[in-house]
Amino acid sequence: MSLPNLDMDAMRTLVAILQLGSLGRAAERVGRSQSAASQQIRKLESQLGQPLFRKQGRGMVLTDIGELVHSYARRILDLNDEAVRSAAGISVEGMVRFGLPGDFAETWLPAALGQFKKAHPAVRVDVEVERNGLLLERLDRGEFDLVLAMGYASRPDARQLATLPMTWIGPAGRDVVLGPGVPLELALFNAPCFFRRAGIEALDKASISWRQAYATGSLQSLWAGVAAGLGITLRTAVGIPPSLMRLDERHGLPPLPVVELCLHSGQGAPSAALSELERVVIDNALANLGA
């Protein structure tokens, strides 16, 4: 029995739909019209003899076969892209200075940087973890070539990757007690910090009294303080240690705003090495954060 060769471009469109959440955004990503992208999915379904999507309410979700094919498509495309990058990596060299906040230093980004290093062994990547505001100050001073940061989407160099909800965070297995006359104890970053500001504004708006019980300039120190029960904090859900848990309105806490995750580049024409690193960071952000 002769099996069909699945269309690689169609699989890339399928993966993009799941990453970006809509056919229109996926079509833009792969450089096709929406109708052409839809036709690619129909072609893939024809090759497989099975529907990949089914209706659910007003939207569409993957069928069981669709879930299976999507899993294979991701693996096939990863191998294809790794082969292409490895072949091209021989001619890509140089140095990229990359800054990122601690939220992503222990999640998906190290694997993305490892993937980049494997594909481009001649490129030197210097990575530093720092607070969001300081990262961008140093970018403006020419100390970084590329920065991943939260909370600065209004900058003209910002390339938005994801919108992340802020969340209250407390120690796992302990109740947050809000009572009259008892201020809520907070563990916060030292000022200036937009998470700190957002939390205080939300509490003041809800007329919830609070006091700063613990202050630090380190994310790891912040997590340790919260885990020890010194106060609750707020951040995004990215990289929350297992010793902590998300809190919300059920705990008597007010809702919080969202924060934009953006990629920022230094001035001047990007080198081939910088462009390749940007692409890897963007692809992995879309895949891991559901941007």
Domains and CATH numbers, the chain: 8-89 (1.10.10.10), 94-161+260-289 (3.40.190.10), 164-258 (3.40.190.10)
Cα(74)–Cα(11) distance, integer angstroms: 8
Average pLDDT in the 26-51 region? 87
pLDDT at 90 over 70: no
pLDDT at 126 over 70: yes
Most confident of 79-88, 92-101, 219-228: 219-228
Average pLDDT in the 256-276 region? 86
Give the model's pLDDT for residue 146.
93
> For residue 192, is the peptide bond before it cis, meaning its omega torsion is within 30 degrees of 0?
yes
pLDDT at 259 over 90: yes
Cα(18)–Cα(154) distance, integer angstroms: 27
Average pLDDT in the 133-142 region? 93
Give how far the C-alpha of residue 120 lies from the chain's centroid of Cα atoms, to the nearest Å: 23
Say what the alpha-carbon torsion angle 61, 67, 63, 14 is, to the nearest 10 degrees.
Answer: 60
Give the model's pLDDT for residue 1.
63
Give the model's pLDDT for residue 208.
92
pLDDT at 291 over 60: no
Cα(72)–Cα(67) distance, integer angstroms: 9
Mean pLDDT, all residues of the chain: 87
Average pLDDT in the 147-156 region? 92
Read off the pTM: 0.68
Cα(129)–Cα(150) distance, integer angstroms: 13
Q: Cα–Cα distances in Å, from 63 out to 56, 67, 98, 244?
A: 10, 6, 40, 35
Cα(144)–Cα(127) distance, integer angstroms: 9
* 60 in Cβ contact with 53 (< 8 Å): yes
Q: Cα–Cα distances in Å, from 248 out to 216, 243, 255?
A: 23, 17, 7
217: left (phi over 0), alpha (psi -120 to 50) or beta: alpha
pLDDT at 47 over 90: no
Average pLDDT in the 17-23 region? 78
- For 163-190, the pLDDT digits (tens) are 999 999 999 987 776 667 789 999 999 9
Cα(194)–Cα(133) distance, integer angstroms: 9
Least confident of 114-128, 195-209, 228-242: 114-128
pLDDT at 9 over 80: yes
